[in-house]
Structure 1
């Protein structure tokens, strides 16, 4: 069941494609209710026509920002002001930023300082500082489907197999560290604690590797022993080396 978080989704329409909005909203539904949906941009700009078609079907509020000076991105400033207003309103429990612009990295850090999580969504061109600041960060290309209406499990991201997962040394280190830090004296760790550790210490998302669930990805690595307890309702894992 998703947590009962009130999530504010702020979209930088100048720097992210409209094609993944369905997947973004479905992903956020895992965490709570997206009660604020603001799309920032200059709606007189023909390049945003694709976004215009997505606004009403998904109850997204367009936030008009005129480009007063050529070469300056007024949308960034307006979106930051919007975020800070929402932060001080105390009407949201989490933020989701849909952008590929690293200029929002300080905003993410400021929100985190207030104790609220920030879910990031951007294209694969997104600079690493912004990716690392969010938890999790999901590449929007992984949320785009052929008809933009299928469930997230039908996304076009390639599912990484055992060999490819194991060859990713940073991923293996993250998973092993998470299990080690979350385990009891018998070396077994509850999956929820492992997931909590990962979300607090990285921008990792299983979706970027082709899996909708962390548990499925962990099984695929074949680096851990897995036990289902409490009549199959609780998943425990242990480093196979232990």
Structure 2
């Protein structure tokens, strides 16, 4: 996948806030995590005596996710957050992981994400579109769970008929700014930029950028659809093929 932030061999700790995540995302979540590494630890936190979490129980068995019991000591107070944060720090100090996946829409995990990043580890956030922006930008990559549910329901990463047309994409000023500034940042003297580094640079600017928002499964498809970039394939020194793009205004 172009622009991936980590190696497939990276060891990841997946921590799920059951109070702030739907069981409907379980399969899509783990499939997404697999793009970034191996889920060496999979834990989910909540009060499992609460019937509201019943939909998670089958998912836990099927996906080998370890439930962590956390009673709500005081009504209206969420004890799950504290338990997740304490466990995350314990796992961080083991130095056995390359990254963390924090699954929640709660801004309380903003500082945790920042702290993990301070140790040089990758942080992948997963939450609903309502997730506060401070938590989103504290992560290296943030994936909206609505996209995971949609892809799971359709059974494909790129949904036929949902891809946005070129004229619609060209009206999206945020998209064009991200694409053009990233190409400019990693391009050579002739304006050509390899697509992989372009994707990585976009992620640095906008952790929640996701080509699936526009109906595409790959960045190359989105770039081509804008019709604003020249696209070509080149053979590298290792005989592998790579996609290069250039802003058409550079001609």
- Secondary structure in structure 2 of the residue aligned to 1:37: strand
- Provide the rounded CA distance (Å) in 1 between the counterparts of 2:42 and 2:224: 35
Measure how far apart 1:183 and its partner are.
Answer: 0.5
Q: Does 1:37 align with 2:53?
A: no
Quick one: which of 113, 118, 121 aligns to 1:113?
Answer: 118
- Provide the rounded CA distance (Å) in 1 between the counterparts of 2:171 and 2:50: 44
- What is residue 161 of structure 1 aligned with on the other side? 165
Quick one: which of 175, 189, 194 aligns to 1:190?
Answer: 194
Q: Does 1:27 align with 2:29?
A: no
- Provide the rounded CA distance (Å) in 1 between the counterparts of 2:221 and 2:233: 13
Quick one: which of 194, 204, 224 aligns to 1:219?
Answer: 224
Which range moves more in the overlay, 161-170 or 134-143?
A: 161-170
Measure how far apart 1:53 and its partner are.
Answer: 1.3
Quick one: which of 58, 62, 65 aligns to 2:70?
Answer: 65
Q: Does 1:236 align with 2:244?
A: yes
Cα 1:114–1:157 change in 2 (3 A) is: farther
Measure how far apart 1:90 and its partner are.
Answer: 0.9
Structure 2 counterparts to residues 167-178 of structure 1, below 5 A:
167-178=171-182
- Provide the rounded CA distance (Å) in 2 between the counterparts of 1:104 and 1:220: 36
Measure how far apart 1:192 and its partner are.
Answer: 1.3
**Do the aligned residues in 2 keep the contact of 1:23 with 1:152 (CA within 8 Å)?**
no
- Provide the rounded CA distance (Å) in 2 between the counterparts of 1:39 and 1:152: 26
RMSD: 2.1
**Do the aligned residues in 2 keep the contact of 1:142 with 1:157 (CA within 8 Å)?**
no
- What is residue 200 of structure 1 aligned with on the other side? 204
Q: Deviations over 1:130-180 (max 9, x none)?
A: 12222321111111148x476451669943332332222112111111100
Give the TM-score normalised by structure 2.
0.89
Give the TM-score normalised by structure 1.
0.92
Measure how far apart 1:6 and its partner are.
Answer: 0.7
Which range moves more in the overlay, 20-29 or 66-75?
A: 20-29
Measure how far apart 1:65 and its partner are.
Answer: 0.5
- What is residue 13 of structure 1 aligned with on the other side? 18
